Amino acid sequence: MSQSLYAGLGAAGIPWFNGLKGGMDVLSGVTGGYIIGFIAASLIIGWFTDRYVKSRSFTGLFSLMLLGIAVIYLFGVIQLSIVLGVNAQRAFELGALPFIGVDLYKALIVATIAAAITPGTAYGSEIDSN
């Protein structure tokens, strides 16, 4: 919900997107797909970590981070392709390829921190808890 609020308020004009920009033109432009993808990725990652205790290990979290990156790139590259009028390969070359290394490094850091601070035992109605 926080990412949806972030995107919604940014679309309404609050200038907190990259370059202190706001408005619907940002969400409908070349970066909008990545913002929407970020919302989808957070939903997926949150659902898995909330539902499965095993996903809270370093390996599980790192795998989820990779899935999240893929979801963000999927949304972002599709919209980038549409907005720029280029094919999917060119959109991937422009909108994903230059960032993969940095994003993998960030995923490694986040998974390490998350594995250290996320409860490794059930605290609710997780499916794989004892």
Task: Give the pLDDT confidence score for residue 77 in this predicted structure.
Answer: 98
CATH topology of domain 2-117: Arp2/3 complex 21 kDa subunit ARPC3 (1.10.1760)
Q: In the chain, where are the structural domains located?
A: 2-117
Please, is 116 exposed, middle or buried when counting C-beta atoms within 10 Å of its C-beta (0-12, 13-18, 19+)?
A: exposed
Place of tokens 């949304």: 75
- For the stretch 95-115, pLDDT in tens is 999 999 999 999 999 999 999
- For the stretch 7-55, pLDDT in tens is 999 999 999 988 889 999 999 999 999 999 999 999 999 999 999 998 9
